[in-house]
A and B are shown apart, each in its own frame.
Chain A
Amino acid sequence: MRSVAELEAFVETADPAVQAVQECLRAGEDILIHWLLAHDRDPTMDTKEGFRLLALQRQGSKGDPSFNACRETCRELAYHYNLVTMEPDHKDTQSRLSMAWMLAKHLVLFVGGKLQVAELGEFCCSSKGLRLKSETESELRM
């Protein structure tokens, strides 16, 4: 598995014209695995709807609602993977591949960013205060 730095270098420098869509999918899986390992969790080998990527995202979002901020990105990446692999001769294959690469890039940047600053995505999507580890009491004195 590639390191986070290698993944970031891959999405920054890869030429989408020569990358296989499998590489994009794998980059997405790898960054999710890094995040799970950093949180002392065993990355699942299960698949969801045929994709390990979706199972890993679901595993990551358990207990961390902010992780749902990348749910659609994962689903779109899986969708573009299907488009490219099921219709390899389609006239739009090159642009679909390019989009898959950008989706992988977003995933690597977002989850990589969360590895550096855990709160990335927490402000907007989780509706959960940073100072509250769980649904605990308000600090307001009643």
Chain B
Amino acid sequence: MTILIDKTDRQETSKKQKYKKVAYYPGCALEGSAQPYDKSTRAVGKALGLELVEIKDWNCCGAMEVKNIDPEIQTYLSSRVLSDAQHKSKQDVVMAPCNGCYHNLKKAEYDLENKDKSRAVTEKISKKAGHETYKSGDVETIHALDWIKFGYGEDELKQKIKGGLKGLKVANYYGCMYTRPRHIFPEKDQGGDSESTSKPHYMDDLLAIAGAENVEFPLKTACCGGAHTLSDSDMSTKLVLNILEAAEAAGAEVIATECPTCHSGLEMHQIRALKRLSKDTNVKVVYFTQLLGMAMGLSPRKVGLHANISDSVGFMKQKGIA
């Protein structure tokens, strides 16, 4: 008897095996301002039996600052992270929960695949620094959303959670770097269960499994002015306030985030909007990993909820989630 296996099923099985144990690249944000994101990511991974191997001796991805001085140096810095993951940590998948890191590793991958200059600069500095030169295609970069969605599997997650976020209205906010620019994310917009760059849905999918009621939120990829929070704070405050008000108008009680820059921007400008513009919003800002963790029965402290600037502990208790 011939057993037909759907192509998508095969891909999912393969991802499930590949993502079970991955190199972890926290980046600087998750060691600092986004420490609750780091804590909840590790806690959720542990609860799901997914293994993280933190990259030894990882460095800055080049973030926004280096990229704006010399993008080739940013490509090199990201390539060193990928090289370390492959050669020192012996992994072929890197998981980066920070949108900035994820974006920059993807950009480096694209540049090294397509630009002679990027390859030449990276090779030269890698040799000088005394480590293996990273070659494009050797390592796959994924986001924490891919890791949980495919590494554990949605069907399995349904069994594990059983509607822990029931009754919670959530606006899923992805920010700009998760999907832009499109050309550095060749795996997206491929139909089937691939992610969409114009209407991302992986976070919606995971939180729906956890029982959340996802509201229609048309500003899910809108710019929060994150990079201008110091140079043009008022503009950032206005952009964030509009996002918060739109989430509330959509009926959301919580904005779920998956980017430390967006998250801290939403939290800080929510306070600033009240002080500077006398505009009060009450929507809570929570990392999606914190929501998933609590849906699985982890305590608020275990997922770092008390460490968020946006105080949602009382609210979560009131909702019976924490």
Q: Which residues of A contact B (CB under 8 A)?
A: 65, 68-73, 75-76, 79-80, 95, 98-99, 102-103, 105-106, 109-110, 113, 116-117, 119-121, 123-132, 137-140, 142
Question: B223 to A138, Cβ gap below 8 A?
Answer: no
Ordered by A's residue number, 19 sampled pairs between the chains whose C-beta atoms are within 8 Å are A65-B181, A68-B181, A69-B180, A70-B223, A73-B219, A99-B218, A99-B249, A102-B249, A117-B235, A121-B223, A123-B64, A124-B227, A125-B176, A127-B67, A127-B184, A131-B70, A138-B71, A138-B73, A140-B72
CA distance A76 to B103 in the complex (A): 24
> In chain B, residues 52-76, which have Cβ atoms closer than 8 Å to a Cβ of chain A?
64, 67-73
Verify if B238 is at the interface (C-beta below 8 Å from A).
yes
Kindly name the residue among A70, A98, A99, A125 whose own CB sees the greatest number of chain B CB atoms within 10 A.
A125
Is A109 a contact of B246 with CB atoms below 8 Å? Answer: no
| Contact among A99, A105, A124, A130 for B176, CB-based, below 8 A | A124
B238 proximity list for chain A (CB < 8 A): 109
Q: Say whether B235 contacts A129, CB under 8 Å.
A: no
**Bound Cα distance A117, B120 (Å):** 34
* Chain A min CB distance to B244 (Å): 10
In order of increasing CB-CB distance, the 6 nearest A-B pairs are A123-B227, A138-B72, A76-B218, A125-B180, A102-B246, A113-B235
Inter-subunit contact B246/A120 (CB<8 Å): no
Among A124, A129, A142: residue with most chain B CB under 10 A: A124
- CB nearest to B218 among chain A residues: A76
Starting from the known contacts A69-B180, A129-B68, 5 additional A-B residue pairs (CB-CB under 8 Å) come to: A79-B218, A117-B235, A120-B232, A124-B175, A127-B107
A69, B223: Cβ atoms closer than 8 Å: yes
How many A-B contacts if CB must be within 8 Å? 128
Q: Is B131 an interface residue (CB 8 A)?
A: no
CB distance from A141 to the nearest CB of B (A): 10
Bound: A89/B264 CA distance, A: 40
In Å, the complex CA distance between A139 and B222 comes to 32
1/0 contact string of B207-220 vs chain A (CB within 8 Å): 00000000010110
Q: Judge whether A109 and B235 touch: CB under 8 Å.
A: yes
Q: Is the CB of B232 within 8 A of A142?
A: no
Does B198 lie within 8 Å of A131, measured CB to CB? no
B232 touches A117 (CB 8 A): yes
Judge whether A73 and B64 touch: CB under 8 Å. Answer: no
**A129 with B223: CB separation less than 8 A:** no
User: Within 8 Å CB of B289, what residues of A?
Assistant: none
Contacts of B120 in A (CB 8 A): 142
B243 contacts which chain A residues (CB < 8 A)? 106
Asked if residues A105 and B242 are in contact (CB atoms below 8 Å), the reply is yes
